[in-house]
């Protein structure tokens, strides 16, 4: 239990440490990250579809 608490607090600490992206969010960076989000979203949808159809 103690280890789990320590682990959770470590995750929180990491989240706080890296809360703000350091890279300058230029139009190019924002666009790339947006495209990446869409790409991954579509890929996850395809995987879910495959999983459901296999079941």
Partner 1 sequence: MDFFSVLYYRFKKVWKSIRLYLVIAGPGLVVMIADNDAGGITTYAATGAKYGYHLIWFLLLLIPVAYYVQEMTVRLGAVTKRGHAEAIFESFGAFWGWFSLIDLMFVDWLTLVTEFVGMTAALSIFGIPAWVTVILVVLLMSIIVLNGRYWTWEKIALGFCLLNLIYIPAAFMVNPSIASIVGQGLIPNLPGGFNNELFFLLMANIGTTIAPWMLFFQQSSVVDKGLQEKDIKMGKLDTFIGSIITVAVAIFIVIVTGTLLNGAPIDDAATAARMLMKTNHYIGAFMAIGLFDAGLLGAICISLASSWAFGEIFGWAHSLNTKVKEAPWFYISFFITLATAGVVPLIPGAPLVLITLFVQVVAVTLLPAALVFLILLLNDKKTMGEYANTTLQNIVSTLIVVLIIILSTLYGISALFPNLFK
Distance between CA 33 and CA 35 in Å, rounded? Answer: 5
Helix, strand or coil for residue 1? coil
Provide, rounded to whole angstroms, the least separation between the CB of residue 1 and partner 1. Answer: 19
CB–CB of 29/23 below 8 Å?
yes
In the bound state with partner 1, the residue whose beta carbon lies nearer, of 1 and 51, is 51
Residue 23: CB minimum distance to partner 1, A: 4
For binding to partner 1 (CB under 8 A), which residues are involved?
10, 14-15, 18-24, 28-29, 32-33, 36, 39-40, 43-44, 46-47, 50
């Amino acid at each position: 239990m103690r280890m789990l608490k320590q682990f959770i607090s470590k995750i929180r600490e990491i989240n706080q440490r890296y809360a703000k992206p350091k890279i300058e969010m230029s139009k190019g960076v924002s666009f790339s990250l947006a495209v990446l989000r869409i790409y991954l979203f579509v890929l996850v949808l395809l995987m879910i579809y495959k999983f459901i159809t296999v079941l």
